[in-house]
Amino acid sequence: MTNVMVAGCSFSATCGFSKENLPLHWVRLLSNHYSCQVDNIAIDGASNDEIYYRTIEALNSVQRYDLVIVQWTSIGRQWIYFDDNNIDDFTMINFGNIAGLLQNRDAVDQYARLHYSYFNNQYMNLKKWLLQILSLQTLLKDKPFVFVKGFDNFLSDFSSVEFLESGFKNIDAVKRLLDFKNRPDAYIADKVKTIQRLIEKIDKYKWVNFDSIEFSRELDDLADDKTHPGSIGNKKLFLGITDYCTTNNILL
């Protein structure tokens, strides 16, 4: 039997479906379609850091995969770990949302408020995520793999920015990330070009939806939790992956 690995956040874990409706989940559709064994290491609330590291850890296990699917999530999401009485139980913070090990809820609330008030540098979050993408792209270059865009994370916004003699064009969506009021145009242009160069290095043919709508916005209907994409969005993602496999002669 062929083996497929899936990494990601809640979109890949259960996508908000109840146990009874899990057959509607894109991972289950994929498993049934190919009659393959799926090693689903996705976990609710996973950050891109955790998705990245868990993927590398799985790739260095004894298991060998015929296809690796990595679904990326929001760059604003973070995982933190308590020091006392803990080894690797995580706490997830995502602006006002907190989940996981709540060893001290007051401490987590304070940490989250401090982080998102002063240290949530979205430019660096984006840059590090792009470097993670390129790193995995290189690591997986000799293996069948496909990436899924869970959130756009300013990819479209930065890709559309232009620097003309008359000034910036299509810059409004990312102005806040670039300290526009305090930095000279040449400095900002260099920071924009840094992101654009990283985006240009991404092999977009290894993505199901790089140039189309992100999975989090596939909300034609909703899953049981009334938050995640429902059966229609999951079917679209499933078909996108099977089309990708067919186009690239990935036989599962």
pLDDT digits 0-9 by tens, 186-211 = 999 999 999 999 999 999 999 999 99
User: Quick one: pLDDT at residue 155?
Assistant: 97
Structure tokens at 31: 């498993």
Q: 79, 91 in Cβ contact below 8 A?
A: yes
Residue-level pLDDT at 41: 98
Record: fold of 3-76+121-153+204-247: Rossmann fold (3.40.50)
Q: How far is CA 173 from CA 94, 118, 168, 188, 193, in A?
A: 21, 20, 12, 14, 16
Residue 96 has what pLDDT?
86
Tell me, what's the pLDDT at 37? 94
Report if pTM > 0.75. Answer: yes
Distance from C-alpha of 97 to C-alpha of 54, rounded to nearest angstrom: 22
The stretches in the chain having pLDDT less than 70 are none
Q: Token pair of 90, please?
A: 């995580």
Domain boundaries, the chain: 3-76+121-153+204-247, 83-119
pLDDT at position 232 = 98
Q: What is the DSSP letter of 217?
A: G
- Whether 16 contacts 224, CB under 8 Å: yes
